[in-house]
Amino acid sequence: MAVCSDLPVGAFIPTPGSRYTLSLHHLPHTLQSQGTKVPQLQRLILGSLFGSLLRLLPPLDSDLVMLISFPGDILMRMLKMLILPLVISSLISGLAGLDAKSSGRMGTRAMVYYMSTTVVAAILGVILVLSIHPGNPKLKKSPSVVIRNEEVSSLDAFLDLIRNLFPENLVQACFQQVKQLAGTTCVPVKRVRRERMATL
């Protein structure tokens, strides 16, 4: 009796009496069948090794750290950019599959839920602010001053140009842009008065 199978010739098929072990003979076929996962695993291992080696080095320059973190920043901005279109498209496709009566009830419930959670969050925020007073009031009396440096280097301007190509929010990108700001913070230093001891 012939059994039809979609597996390629030479594929590893464990029998009921055999152990699930993979020999080196079947390794090339397994790597070929998992072609998309192997490069991801290689990049994950290389990134972990590279990050571990960077931790062993002395403290790096801020510009070098910014250049190293720049690809990750772009990736996170691209992922955040996908959130709004995915949510809107999923809502539209979900509501399109319902009839008018069900979608009306769903919209009413969603509006009531949204308004009620907004009111509860506002009331809870006011109660917590009046009861526990979050934040340190002494920070207003601190003489520390943050001075912004409006001089932007050519590297910052070039990286900002690439960042603006991948906005986090498509709607926000219509009227706002990303700009790198460099600033210095003046930290107050306590002066200790030293008294000279006169020796007799």
pLDDT at residue 169, rounded to an integer: 82
Q: By the 8 A CB rule, do 142 and 53 touch?
A: no
- pTM beyond cutoff 0.85: no
pLDDT above 70 (res 104): yes
Q: What separation in angstroms does the CA of 110 have from each of 5, 83, 117, 165? A: 49, 19, 11, 34
Read off the pLDDT of residues 155-196 as tens digits, 9 standing for 90 and up.
888 888 888 888 888 888 888 887 776 655 444 544 444 444
For residue 135, CA distances in Å to 4, 13, 130, 140, 145 come to 71, 64, 12, 10, 18
Q: Which amino acid is at 185?
A: T
Q: Residue 184 pairs with which residues in a beta bridge?
A: 147
Does residue 16 carry a pLDDT above 70?
Answer: no
